[in-house]
Amino acid sequence: MINRRTALKQTALAATALAGTGTLPALAQNAPPAPPAAPTGPFTLPPLPYPADALEPAIDARTMEIHHGKHHAAYVAGLNRAVAGHPDLAAKPVETLLRQLQSLPEDIRTAVRNHGGGHANHSLFWPSLKKGGGAPSGELARALDTAFGSFNAFQQQFTQAAMGVFGSGWAWLTWDGTRLRIESLPNQDSPFSQGRVPLLGLDVWEHAYYLKYQNRRADYVAAFYTIINWEFVAARFREARA
């Protein structure tokens, strides 16, 4: 039976043996290899098109910093991990990957859906916001009137879509090739994967608003209407129909 003193002695002897006989390098060789460095591309985090505090008070600076610098960055990293070892896919724009989701290799399909969707959705979100939003004009304004009855009716229906997201997701204004639609999609699912072009999206994940609004999603949605960059949305609308 090994008593405590014997055990201590054996431990000490073992330590001496390790220190004295060159066993340490052997142990190091048996250690698991260091994990490969995380891929830094091909997808990259686009810079915010304005300072983090530009959208105050609708969206506070701290939320912008974390949302862009941590959440969006994590989607970019996840997408890069997913396409590592798939040079053919890594060469395609993320929108193309999302349109072709069903034809992607099964083992990376979910990762591209989540992280690729997250990257595409947020890349669209930042430039669609600006200080002092206003209202749409021109062709887009007429198209919104035709599709939804009026700009007010558009806002009501879009708000309903945003408030109706259970859990995490987005409300979307999309173009389906024929008409404008309002819809909501769960998680980071992209309208591209539904065969539609996203024109304007509202992120209603709690990470988008919880620091300032806590559970008051309705207040966040109301504030969103004061910071929509309608010129950007109109340009996407023109491109989608071209």
Q: From CA 218, how far away is CA 160, in angstroms rounded?
A: 10
Judged by the rule CB under 5 A, the positions of this chain that interact with Mn ion are: 203, 205, 208
Query: Which residue bears the tokens 């890349």?
Result: 123
Please report how close the Cβ of residue 29 comes to Mn ion at its closest, in angstroms.
Answer: 44
CB of 234 to Mn ion, least distance (A): 23
Q: Output b/e per residue, 181-203; b: 16+ Cβ within 10 A.
A: bbbbbebbbbbbbbebbbbbbbb
Q: How far is the CB of 124 from Mn ion (least distance, A)?
A: 11
Rounded to a whole number of angstroms, the minimum distance from the CB of residue 207 to Mn ion is 5
Residue 213 CA: distances (Å) to CA of 63, 86, 205, 207, 220? 10, 41, 12, 10, 7
CB of 201 to Mn ion, least distance (A): 10
